[in-house]
Amino acid sequence: MKWIKFNAKKLFKKLSNKVSRIKKEHLIKEYFKNNVLLITFLITVVLNSTILRFFCMHSIENYISVKAILADLIIALFIGSFAYLFKPKNRFTYLFICNIFLTAICMINSVYYTFYTSFASVSMLSLTQYIGDVGDAVVENVIQLKDLIYVLGPLIFIYVHIRIKKKNYYKKVELKAERKKKTLKTLGASGVLLIIFLLTMTSLDVSRFMKQWNKEYVVMRFGIYVYQINDVFTSIQPKINSMFGYDQAKKSFDDYFAEVSDTPQTNEYTNIFAGKNVILIHGESMMTNAMSLSFNGVEVTPNLNRIAREGMFFSNFYSQVSVGTSSDTELTYNTSLMPTKSGTAFVSYADRTFITTPQMLKEQGYFTYVMHANNADFWNRRNMYKSIGYDKFYSKVDFEVTKENTIGLGLSDKEFFTQSIPYLKEINEKNDKWYGVYIMLTNHTPFSETEKYGEYPVDIKETITHENGTTEEVVYPYMEGTKLGNYFKSLHYADQALGEFLAKLDEEGLLEDTVFILYGDHDARLPRRDYNRLYNYDKENNDILDEDDPNYKEYDSYQYELGRKVPFIIWTKDMKGTKLNQQITNVMGMYDVQPTIGNMFGFYNKYALGHDIFNTKENNIVVFPNGNWVTNKLYYNSQKEAYLSLTEGEITEEEISKNSGYTNKLLDVSNNIIVFNLFNDDNEEIVE
Ligand code: GP9
Ligand code: MN
């Protein structure tokens, strides 16, 4: 005790001596002068990371997050300290290379965030080829001026380098021992900051850092550089995980399905469509909220609306995608599993065994095919479609694609459907029963080729009658020129393509014994401010109504998230007016489709994670890959740890924690099934 006291006293004396020496000898000023290169490096690196948060997070406490700045500084100091191992004249090269590398991290994440509203992952590196394929669309939609701002960092660095070079900064001679000492001191400084950082970490920080799925939180608290380093480890983790931990995964899988019946629960829809042909439409970026809109008396989606009116329309339906967007929806639709926690199932786990809708229909004697007039390797479909079990994949090479019939990413939807008819006629002649999937393409972001979509004004036209009896037409721009407005034009085109396709199928007699199913694959990622304009347009001022205006309807982040609903419709030519012609308003997710239509067509997958909506009814729950979930009663945002009540009923904490527990368990089991290949044929207990 005495010893500690003595040492503390000594230490304090030493420290206070040092502080007064620093004061007296202007050591700080001196340090800055002698280490101007390192300091510029630190400032530019921290600045770039802060700018990135500024563009992605839109809230002052996020981009001026002290913790993130501290974390960025620790990384920059750590990397920067090794510069002192080099002779002064070589330090610039080392720090400049590091600066470029760290700048690239910020830039890539900035571009990536605009595209996916998420931060980049090295596990997605194998996907860059698909992003590249989108070509102009991505460049036009994604690379914006703001993404180039990060270049300022290296430019400032070069500028400082030139200036100090002129002042003979690099001419100084430093002995090896002195360089080593400087390195160790700088490393020590980063170590001290690291200790301070670790001491201020909360248990929530630790847990989110380990799980990494809440990327925004990790970037907000740890900065982009720590996030990216952590991401490298979490990305290789699935590979390592699939080597270790199988027993634990298998056990939790067995527990999860122990109570699930080996035979399906029947209801009034059991086998109603058994043996019927199927046309399934993958409606690119189709959103439910657009279905209720009209401009100048013309509906945005008259054909969708017609089949929704005449068929079975699931109006409270969500896709459950993660970064794999289209491919995630295809996974969930076909397998009733959720997207993987890291990477995408289509790319990283295409070799796994799945229990899929096409496979189960094939067992019933169906010919199963898929048509998509894009590159077969996009989203690794060429390989993944083998695992899904399609008999044939008609891709870009099977269609005549010219400059004239191309819109956006590829062959226009109208042309795609037209060219697909002869194939279907042949399939119909050769096969007793068939199941065909049509993946649409035109209604894909950035919705910029408006001149090719055809006339569909999204303005407001009004005829005014003057006192003298003369009339005048007034036009208010409304949604013209906005991204959302362009989306409506593009969607109107896609809807027309669908209408023409239905008419052609009917003409060829191909609708007689056919069930037409359609889903929207995911939302169109449109800006919230455009919705604000849509719902709060002040035509007199061609602006958004003032928030104090009594007619102002707030479109907050909850409404935006819940507004991501996509349509799901089952329609047959003769459904109108029958008991099947109804709107189902219970909340439902893409993972509920396989069990729901499975019951109608007479197939069953015990290991589906979703449920037949006609069994769960109002008690259904839709979980999202990020841990959020929604029921008829409430929507829970796990990242904000906040909820929105959707009914009058009382919400209990018990209910929230029960549903959150269910969500986490389901996501774990789903991930384990894919990562550990738990449906593998070798595993006899699982697959009969
Ligand atoms: C590409 C298309 C688009 O072939 O399916 O995929 P998305 O960008 O929507 O994931
Ligand atoms: Mn898509």
**Interval between CA 287 and ligand 1 midpoint (Å):** 15
Ligand nearest to the CA of 378: 1
Is 80 exceeded by the pLDDT of residue 136? no
Residue 630: the pLDDT is 98
Ligand 1 atom with least separation from CA of 381: 4
Nearest ligand, measured from the Cα of 286: 2
What pLDDT score was predicted for residue 269?
A: 98
Q: What pLDDT is stored for residue 141 in this prediction?
A: 54
Please name which ligand lies nearest the alpha carbon of 130.
1
Mutate to test the pocket of ligand 1, among 124, 384, 393, 409 (most ligand atoms within 8 A of CB): 409
The model's pTM? 0.75
Residue of higher predicted confidence among 665 and 170: 665
* CB of 325 shorter than 6 A to ligand 1: yes
* Distance from residue 566's CA to the centre of ligand 2 (Å): 12
- Is the CB of 380 inside a 6 Å radius of any atom of ligand 1? no
| Average pLDDT estimate for 403-429 | 97
21 vs 104 pLDDT, higher one = 104
pLDDT digits (tens, 9 = 90+) for 268-312: 999 999 999 999 999 999 999 999 999 999 999 999 999 999 999
Of the bound ligands, which one is closest to the alpha carbon of residue 522?
2
- Band of residue 2 on the pLDDT scale cut at 50, 70, 90: very low
Residue 239 pLDDT class (50, 70, 90 cuts): confident
| Confidence grade of residue 243 (pLDDT, cut at 50, 70, 90) | confident
Q: Cα separation of 334 and 77, whole Å?
A: 49
Flag whether pLDDT at 685 surpasses 50. Answer: no
Tell the residue nearest (CA) to atom 3 of ligand 1. 326
Compute the distance between CA of residue 418 and CA of residue 413 in angstroms, rounded to an integer.
8
pLDDT of residue 244: 77
Give the chain's mean pLDDT: 90
> What are residue 682's phi and psi, to 5 degrees?
-65, -20
Residue 75 has pLDDT above 70, yes or no: yes
Residue 527 in tokens: 């800006």
Per-residue confidence band for 55, with pLDDT thresholds at 50, 70 and 90: confident
- Residue 686 has what pLDDT? 36
Whether residue 444 has its Cβ less than 6 Å from ligand 1? yes
Ligand 1 site, residue 322, Cβ cutoff 6 A: no
Q: Which two tokens stand for residue 116?
A: 């996916």
Question: Ligand 1 atom closest to Cα of 325?
Answer: 10
For ligand 1, whether the C-beta of 572 sits within 6 Å is no
**Does residue 442 have its Cβ closer than 6 Å to ligand 1?**
no
Residue 6 has pLDDT above 70, yes or no: no
Record the tokens describing residue 123, joined without a space: 């596990």
DSSP 266: P
**Residue 282: CB within 6 Å of ligand 1?**
no
**Residue 491 pLDDT greater than 80, yes or no:** yes
Q: Which of 136, 377, 379, 566 to mutate to test the pocket of ligand 1 (most atoms within 8 A of CB)?
A: 379
Query: Which atom from ligand 1 is nearest to the alpha carbon of 285?
Result: 9
pLDDT of residue 302: 98
Residue 206 gets which letter from DSSP?
Answer: H
How far from chain centre, in Å, is Cα 559? 18
Can you tell me the mean pLDDT for 57-67?
A: 75
Spacing of C-alpha 181 from chain mean position:
47
Q: Identify the nearest ligand to the CA of 285 by its number.
A: 2
Closest CA to 113 of 49, 56, 51, 54: 56
Tell me, what's the pLDDT at 138?
A: 47
Of 2-11, 152-161, 343-352, 489-498, the least confident: 2-11
* Ligand 2 centroid – CA 13 distance (Å): 66
CA-based Rg of the chain, rounded to a whole angstrom? 30
For ligand 1, say whether the CB of 40 is within 6 Å of any of its atoms. no
> Does ligand 1 have an atom closer than 6 angstroms to the CB of 628?
no
Look at residue 684 in the predicted model and tell me its pLDDT: 41
Atom of ligand 1 minimally distant from the CA of 326? 10
**Where are the CATH 3.40.720.10 domain residues in the chain?**
259-675
Which atom of ligand 1 has the smallest separation from the CA of 282?
5
Q: Is 110 in the pocket of ligand 1 (CB under 6 A)?
A: no
Q: What percent of the chain has pLDDT over 70?
A: 90
Number of Cβ within 10 Å of residue 678's Cβ equals 20
Judge: domain 259-675, CATH 3.40.720.10.
Answer: yes
Q: Is the CB of 326 inside a 6 Å radius of any atom of ligand 1? A: yes
> Which residues, 6 or more positions from 616, have their beta carbon under 8 angstroms from its beta carbon?
586, 592
**182 CA distance to ligand 2 centroid (A)?**
53
- Classify the phi-psi angles of 54: left when phi > 0, otherwise alpha if psi is within -120 to 50, otherwise beta: alpha
- What does the pLDDT average to over 319-323? 93
Measured from the CA of 375, which atom of ligand 1 is nearest? 4
**Highest averaged pLDDT of the listed ranges 7-11, 375-379, 659-663:** 659-663
C-alpha 162/C-alpha 513 separation (Å) is 77
pLDDT tens digits, 548-592? 999 999 899 999 999 999 999 999 999 999 999 999 999 999 999
Question: Once rounded to an integer, what is the mean pLDDT over residues 620-642?
Answer: 95
pLDDT of 25 = 63
Distance 326 CA to ligand 1 centre (A): 5
Per-residue pLDDT at 466? 92
Q: What is the spatial order of strands in the sheet that 392-394 belongs to? A: 392-394, 366-371, 433-439, 277-283, 514-520, 568-571, 312-314, 582-584
Ligand closest to the CA atom of residue 439? 1
Mean pLDDT across the stretch 529-550?
A: 95
Inform me whether the pLDDT recorded for 132 exceeds 60: no
Rounded mean pLDDT of 135-160? 78
